Amino acid sequence: MVTGAGGFIGRRLIAERLQAGDEVIGLDHFRSKTPESVWQWFHEFMPRDDSIDWQSRLQLLPTDIRSQSDVRDAMKSVHQVFHLAAAVATRSQALSESINVDGTRVLARSAADQPQPPTFVFASSLAAAGPRSRPSVEPDSCRPVSHYGRTKLAAEVSLAEMAGSLPVTIARPPCVFGPGDRNLLALYQTVRYRWNVVLSKTDRYSYISVVDLIRGLVAACHRGRRLVPGEFAIDGTQQNVGLYYLTDDHPVTFVELADMIASTINRDRVRHMQIPTFIGYAIGGVGEIVLRTTGRKMFLNLDKIREGVGGSWICRGQRAADELSFATSAPLAQRVAETTDYYHGAGWLPAETKTVT
């Protein structure tokens, strides 16, 4: 089972699992689309092999993960659960908490109620830990600064409370980007005009490509340790066995990231402009008003600004390396180049930005 099946990460994970020979149940709200029309989303990540009926291995179910009856029916005969569904920004904090925390509890309880509970992998976020001047590691105390981070942390705590009845592993990725991601596209658009507007030129950020994250999530499912009852804490007093940071271990500043992007879209001499914090909050406030009045997804809202002014967001993946044998398989600069290639192929970037080699 994959929740958030229609999302950026979910589509890639489903494609990978289908190619591995698994049968997959994908849960998502799918908005106004039917599951049949969503199938085309997976085509770009599947090998062109007419001898294999990929679609016969995938069942897409329009589901509200907060619905106990819907989730319980879908959970039957499931051996592994990858819980990716989350609300990053909604019209209200109550709605975010309902989806991120209550929805996680419903899924976990439904899984625990099965005769043979499935392995449950929860994709949390570095936002649950909060910013730090040094790389975060799994036993550290947590100090989230955004509502999103607080709801993700609350979901982790609720899963830890069920550790005795459900085999649970938690993965905390940092910023995720890659082919199919639209969030990083906003930075591409400013770099295209040789501008990079930042809240800090010196704060560092960890990243991971979706290509590597999928490998890490699968490794966490197959080789990861599980949460231990009574041995998960957010105050730094436990080792938090069963929790993993999945990350590229070479964090970068927004200046360095923008320069990487510029090198792939035929741009040079990018001007990096740092704006005052109050202007950042003003921009985030406008995004918040649009989000709350129209429901339109806004990447720059107040929650994102709170994270942006919090400092460095960096983590270390040593535990994942030791226990999962996980490491990113390509340098960050190469993953940025792969993302650029996808943007060009999808028509998201104009042809004049394509570097000829």
pLDDT (tens digit, 9 = 90+) per residue, 86-111? 988 776 788 889 999 999 999 999 99
Dmax (CA) of the chain: 61
For 213-227, what is the HEC assignment? Answer: HHHHHHHHHHHCCCC
pLDDT tens digits, one per residue of 20-79? 999 999 999 876 566 566 666 666 777 777 777 777 889 999 999 999 998 998 999 899
> What pLDDT score does 31 carry?
66
What does the buried/exposed string (b/e) look like for 324-338 if buried means 16 or more CB atoms within 10 Å of the residue's CB? bebebeeebbebbbb
b/e map 82-113, b = 16+ CB within 10 Å: bbbbbebbbeeeeebbbbbbbbbbbbbbbbbe
- Please give the average pLDDT of every successive group of 10 residues along the chain, which has 357 residues: 93 92 91 63 71 82 92 93 90 86 97 97 98 97 94 97 96 96 92 94 97 98 97 97 97 97 92 91 83 74 85 97 98 96 93 73
Task: Give the Cβ contact number of residue 297 at 10 Å.
Answer: 14
C-alpha–C-alpha distance, residues 228 and 236, integer Å: 15
Torsion of CA 155, 157, 161, 166, to 10 degrees: 50
The pLDDT, as a whole number, for residue 283 is: 83
- CA 83/CA 61 separation, integer angstroms: 15
**Residue 317's pLDDT is what?**
97
Cα distance between residue 196 and residue 20, in whole Å: 40
Side-chain-side CA neighbours of residue 241 (13 Å): 10
pLDDT at 254: 96
> Alpha-carbon distance 310 to 267, whole Å?
30
Contact, 59 vs 27, CB < 8 A?
no
Please write down the HEC assignment for all residues of the chain: CEECCCCHHHHHHHHHHHHCCCCEEEEECCCCCCHHHHCHHHHCCCCCCCCCCHHHHEEEEECCCCCHHHHHHHHCCCCEEEECCCCCCCCCHHHHHHHHHHHHHHHHHHHHCCCCCCEEEEECCHHHCCCCCCCECCCCCCCCCCHHHHHHHHHHHHHHCCCCCCCEEEEECCEEECCCCCCCHHHHHHHHCCEEEECCCCCEECEEEHHHHHHHHHHHHHHCCCCCCCCCCCCCCCCCCCEEECCCCCCEEHHHHHHHHHHHCCCCCCEEEECCHHHHHHHHHHHHHHHHHHCCCCCCCHHHHHHHCCCCECECCHHHHHHHCCCCCCCHHHHHHHHHHHHHHCCCCCHHHCCCC
Q: b vs e for 267-285, b when ≥16 Cβ sit within 10 Å of the residue's Cβ?
A: beebeeeeeeeeebbebbe
Q: How many CB atoms lie within 10 A of CB 294?
A: 10
